[in-house]
Amino acid sequence: MNILGISAFYHDSAACLVKDGEILAAAQEERFTRKKHDHSFPKHAVEYCLREGKISAKELDYVAFYDKPFIKFERILETYLAYVPQGLQSFLKAIPLWVKQKLWIRSLIADEIGFEGQILFPDHHESHAASAFFPSPYQDAAILTIDGVGEWTTSSYGVGSGNKLDLLAEIKFPHSLGLLYSAFTYYTGFKVNSGEYKVMGLAPYGEPKYVDLIYKHLIDLKEDGSFKMNMEYFDYCAGLTMTNEKFDMLFGGPPREAESKLTQREMDLARSVQDVTEEVMLRMARHIHKETGQKNLCLAGGVALNCVGNGRILREGPFENLWIQPAAGDAGGALGAALMVWHRYLDKPRYADNVNDFQKGSYLGPEFSDDEIQAYLDRHGYAYTKLQPETMPETIADILAQEHVVGWFEGRMEFGPRALGARSIIGDARSSKMQEVMNLKIKFRESFRPFAPSVLMEEVSNYFDIDCPSPYMLLVAQVKKELQKPMTPEQEKLFGLEKLNIVRSTIPAITHVDYSARIQTVHKETNPLYHAMITRFNEKYGCGVIINTSFNVRGEPIICSPKDAYLCFMRTNMDYLVMGNYLLDKTQQKPLEKDVDWQKEFELD
């Protein structure tokens, strides 16, 4: 039984193939087209999934689309009518695309992939809920989904048991925690649906000066986590921006211009909306626990990528266990839709052992063999050294210990927005200069952005105040007190980005300004080579933690193929690249031609 799940047309389009209940393949379209957050129909991702499953589209039994387009269209029409004539410009921009493409999913799927069989349309938040619960380790769990908006729903909760999933309550548009956070993303000068994690990273540099203003004017929050937003301050219902002039007046000026200098105001705004978001998430979790009596909680939806909020739910909330879908945003809807068909529509059983999940480490994307990698390198005449599998972990560990930056391209590409040791850039977490070097010379991004640690699961509680798995980099915890370096009285007086380059711990490159870290635990079962390399680094150099950031530069998706890896390696100040068993030294490479058309290079084989 082959079921294809598809999400498309808003952001992060993706496809997923489920075969006899097993997640066989999943990938975002952006990885193939090289267009970040690509929202177009995921033709390339579908082709990959079918290739991985060794089937054609005609051999599919079902296709599941992750939401109900006609109900979403109804919401858009009703919203515009409610704001007439204010939304005319936005209406004229949006409706032609709906009439031409977004309403005709059945014919589009037939045209794009040649499938003319049965197509099913779960609800958007059902797809999120299914992506959270069905791959989780739990036989029974409460489920919480929070995002910008689906059809009408912006948040929902329910209960999963075996192969059953029931949503019990919801909050509806325009009242949306995701859109509140996106409004502040826009207002602080970052890109909506892309820069929310920058706001989260900026928050520790600020003070929660605007929390009272947010509660007084923007959001009426109840004890159970439900809320209503004051739409007088927002423009997203009918306009072309997230906020309006009244919002500007409330916070003392217009939105920050993109790429302009960050001020203390943006840092304080980021901290304030982050604190409010965490409080809403905590209240929701407490209410859901009270209503369901479950000990496990599963999370999905774009807001579930807020790993600081997730960490607080784990530490301060009433649930014993927490599992978050690694592709929590719209991309994961493709996976959830396919699993909804298998478990709910076809009523196939599901048995979980309450320990192991069904996500396979989220290593669900394309893989390239050593023969394919060598053929690519030889075809272009790139210099390389072939390593022996048994010596490779130690060789890379030694390179990292010399404070070199390494591009790590191994195994199947990750599904979701986080690099998890398959398409990663790695470095020595003990280095005090590594954060600045990697931000400015490798990633070409803002200096305030923190880097995440990859830590051996066996060692995680020796470095961080957490003793549970965090394989998908979706939980934040504090660096252990004994590893922290307290700030001096002079340093305590510093404000904002003045705090940036203070060495805060014995692993300073992954220690954020508030002594926190976004943790990825590395497991031998799901990524044996990455685990072996960090193990060797720990044995030789006494540190079971390394830096792990996504293998891409700012503004581009995470790399997918050997070609993507090589071009990114050469366009940055990375020192080494390891692909399969092949090691490339930057000093041995010929400079790339200056007139190379990068877009064309990425599109070619």
CATH code, domain carrying 505 = 3.90.870.20
pLDDT given at position 442: 84
Query: How many residues can be counted in the chain?
Result: 605
Query: CA-to-CA distance for 537 and 336, rounded, in angstroms?
Result: 37
- Domain contains 401: yes
Hey, what's the torsion of the CAs at 80, 82, 83, 87, to 10 degrees?
A: 10
Give the burial class of 330: count Cβ atoms within 10 A of its Cβ; 0-12 exposed, 13-18 middle, 19 or more buried. Answer: buried
Residue 323 pairs with which residues in a beta bridge? 298
Is the distance from CB of 362 to CB of 420 less than 8 angstroms? yes
Query: CA-to-CA distance for 196 and 194, rounded, in angstroms?
Result: 6
pLDDT given at position 604: 35
- Domain contains 457: yes
- Domain contains 110: no
Expressed as residue numbers, the domain containing 561 is: 370-603
7 Cβ partners below 8 Å, 6+ apart?
Answer: 13, 14, 15, 42, 65, 66, 67, 127, 330, 331, 332, 333, 334, 337
pLDDT given at position 462: 97
Global pTM?
A: 0.94
- Domain contains 233: no
| DSSP β-ladder status, 545-550 and 576-579 | unpaired
- Domain contains 452: yes
pLDDT given at position 599: 45
Q: Which amino acid is at 166?
A: D
Query: CA-to-CA distance for 531 and 535, rounded, in angstroms?
Result: 6
CA count, 13 A, side-chain hemisphere, 40: 13
- Domain contains 513: yes
User: Taking the CB of residue 599, how many other CB atoms lie within 10 A of it?
Assistant: 10
Average pLDDT for consecutive 10-residue bins of the chain (605 residues)? Answer: 96 96 98 96 98 97 96 88 76 77 88 94 98 98 97 97 98 97 97 93 95 98 98 90 96 94 96 98 98 98 98 96 98 98 98 97 98 97 96 98 97 97 97 85 80 97 96 97 89 76 90 95 97 98 97 94 97 96 97 60 39
pLDDT given at position 605: 33
User: Taking the CB of residue 57, how many other CB atoms lie within 10 A of it?
Assistant: 19
Give the burial class of 124: count Cβ atoms within 10 A of its Cβ; 0-12 exposed, 13-18 middle, 19 or more buried. Answer: buried
| DSSP β-ladder status, 452-456 and 406-409 | unpaired
- Domain contains 391: yes
Is the distance from CB of 545 to CB of 429 less than 8 angstroms? yes
- Domain contains 551: yes
Number of separate domains in the chain = 1
Query: CA-to-CA distance for 107 and 181, rounded, in angstroms?
Result: 35
pLDDT given at position 594: 62
Rounded to 5 degrees, φ, ψ at 119 are -115, 130
Query: CA-to-CA distance for 132 and 455, rounded, in angstroms?
Result: 24
pLDDT given at position 372: 97
